Each structure stands twice: as C-alpha cells, then as structure tokens.
Amino acid sequence: MIPLNPDRSTFGRHETFPLRFGWLTKGHQAWSENPDVFEQDEATVTLGVGKNMVSAIKYWMLATQIVKHDKTVLRPAELGNKLFDEDGWDPYLEDDATIWLLHWLLASNPVDATAIFWFFNRFHKPEFTADELIHALKTFVAENLTSRASESTLKHDVALLIRMYQPATVSKSVPLEESLDSPFVLLGLIRPMPETKRYESKPDYRPQLPVAVLAFAVAELFAHFGEPNLPVERLMRSDGSLAAPGSVFRLTEECLIAKLEEMIEWLPGRLQLRESAGIHELYRLADFTPLEMLRMHYEDVFEINPKIKSLEIESK
C-alpha cells in the first residue's frame, strides 16, 4: 500500500493519453528484454507508437505499479512479472478481473496517479461536472500537497480521468486514436448523464467485481496495518491517506458486506466477519498474501477452461 505523501505527487505525466488495451503488455515485455528501451530513439519503432506515447506507456506502467521506480531507473515488480510476462497470468487482459485489479493498483497509488487516487478516495459527490472536479482538485492540492500543479495541468488530468472511465464519443471532430476506449470503461465507474454536461459515479451493487480482486485489496490493507482485524468502515471509506476498496470500487455498504461474506466462503478458515455493538469487523484467522489471492484466481480460471492458457501460448 502507498500512503498519500504531501511531498510526493504526480500530475500531467500521461502526455494526455489514457491507458489503452495492449500498452502495459507491450511496454512490460519490451522493457523486460531491454531495460533502456524507453530512453532509446528506437523506442517508437520497438513499441510501434509515437514519441509522446512512449512516455505515456512508461508512465502508466509506473502508475499501475507493474514496475517500480528507483530515482530515474525502473525496477521489476513481482506482480508485473506475474501478470505480463509472455507466460504470465493474463498478459492480454482477457480476464476482466485483471482490469479491476489494475484499477485498484492505479487508484491506490497517490504518488504516481494522484488525481485518480483523489477522485476515487477523496471526492464523494455522486454527480458532478468537469468544472466542479477541477475546482475540487485544485482545493485538494492547495490544502494537502506541498507541490503545486498549474490549473491547465489539473484540467488535463480531469479530462483524462473522465475520458478513461467513460465510453468515448465518436465524431468527425475527434481523431480516431482519441476515440479508442480505455480498458477501465468496462467497469462502469463513471457515466455521463443523458442530455447534460454532468457525470455520475455512485456507489452501487457490483456483482461483476471478482472476489479475488477484493481479497487482494483486503490483503494489502492487512499487510499494511499488521493488525488481526480491520473495521469494515475502514474497508468501506478511505481515511484520506490510504485507498479503501469500498471507495475505489464504488460499492454500497450492503454490497461490501455481501462481497466480504463471499470472500470468507472462498477462503475457508482464514477470515471471519464479526459484529459487536453494531460495528462490523473483519478478522484474519490465518495469514494470506495479496499475490496468493491472485494466484488462486488465475489458476481457477485456467482449471475451469484450460484451453485459454494453451491457446494463448500457441498464439505467440
């Protein structure tokens, strides 16, 4: 887990390009073969994109935590290797669970994806306009961060956030490459309101959220706090410093409780939900790691349909 740090924030490094299907796979595999690929003139040829997109791909790899940065050098992250190696769990985003997971990794990274972390963990208006988002983000930066970003940069971040999570509008005035949807559109977390310039992002019952991804997020919180129990309220709402699954996945309280009960059934003997004086708490009865939750999920997927993995390998 990465806590909010007033001295470390990032705005505008996406070059105004939303994350696209294939970028993380392309970037991770090229970087794994050549760690200097993003600094080389041939990067545009290697990755098959323009110069600004090269920078955007590198940025999104950091923002989604599939690589780490050590000053100016990228370092491997175990999760990135597990997901995006050629024989990884889901390098081509064929499983929607991977998109939910990447959303969590992005929205729980206040250092590299500050505006997205802020929106999903600190901004709670269910309906809003782009101008309202810009104003609220400016206020957050002024009151919580030591670094500053120009108003134009914050406007770009808000525009990108909306474009990345709601279906793109196709028209003659919009270049084709800008009308391509981001993977996160599939999650339905931001929706345009009909015949207005407003958007909505409301808590909802989300049956499509995979229990393994919720378990990954819960395991990260248990690991961070090092306590045997977590209040459900802490899982539901961010404390402002760390991401919360209920906030990031836009869940109702009833849905979160139902998902936790599903998770307990999926992990027999490891978790228990208790209520005392009207307060729900999740107790960890046995250790489990975030990566273990993903391994169980992806192995189950391939066990149910082993052709998925074999066909994926044969196509390379």
Is residue 253 within 8 Å of 206, Cβ to Cβ? no
* Mean pLDDT, residues 1-14 taken together: 94
Q: How far apart are the first and last CA of the chain?
A: 34
d(CA 34, CA 29) in angstroms, rounded, equals 9
H or E segment and range at residue 144: helix 130-144
Q: Which residue has the tokens 């669970």?
A: 97
- Of the candidates 140, 130, 80, 82, the residue with the CA atom closest to the CA atom of residue 110: 140
3-state secondary structure (DSSP) of residue 72: coil
* More confident site: 70 or 112: 112
What's 191's DSSP letter?
E
> Could you tell me the pLDDT band of residue 302, with boundaries at 50, 70 and 90?
low
Question: pLDDT per residue over 150-172, tens digit each?
Answer: 999 999 999 999 999 987 654 44
| More reliable by pLDDT, 128 or 173 | 128
Strand pairing partners for 162?
Answer: none
Class of 211-294 per CATH? mainly alpha
Quote the longest CA-to-CA distance of the chain: 63
Q: Where are the domains of the chain?
A: 23-200, 211-294
In angstroms, the Cα distances linking 6 to 46, 146, 195 are 37, 6, 38
Q: What percent of the chain has pLDDT over 90?
A: 79
Cβ neighbours for 296, distance < 8 A, ≥ 6 positions apart: 212
Spatial separation of the C-alpha atoms in residues 122 and 240, rounded to whole Å: 6
State the number of CA atoms in the 13 A half-sphere of 307 facing the CB: 0
Nearest Cα residue to 161 out of 140, 196, 127, 133: 133
Q: How much is the pTM? A: 0.91
Instruction: Give pLDDT tens digits for 209-241.
Output: 999 999 999 999 999 999 999 999 999 999 999
Average pLDDT, whole number, for the chain?
A: 90
Given this model, what pLDDT does residue 276 score? 81
Query: What distance in Å separates the CA atoms of residue 300 and residue 302, rounded to the nearest whole number?
Result: 6
Mind listing the pLDDT tens digit for each residue in 272-293?
999 888 889 999 999 999 999 9
Note the pLDDT tens digit of each residue in 258-273. 999 999 999 999 999 9
What pLDDT, on the 0 to 100 scale, is given for residue 77? 92
pLDDT value of position 12: 92
> Predicted confidence band at 303 (pLDDT cuts at 50, 70, 90)?
low
Please name the amino acid found at residue 279: I
Please check the confidence at residue 101 and state whether its pLDDT lies above 90.
yes
Nearest to 204 by CA among 252, 259, 258, 253: 252
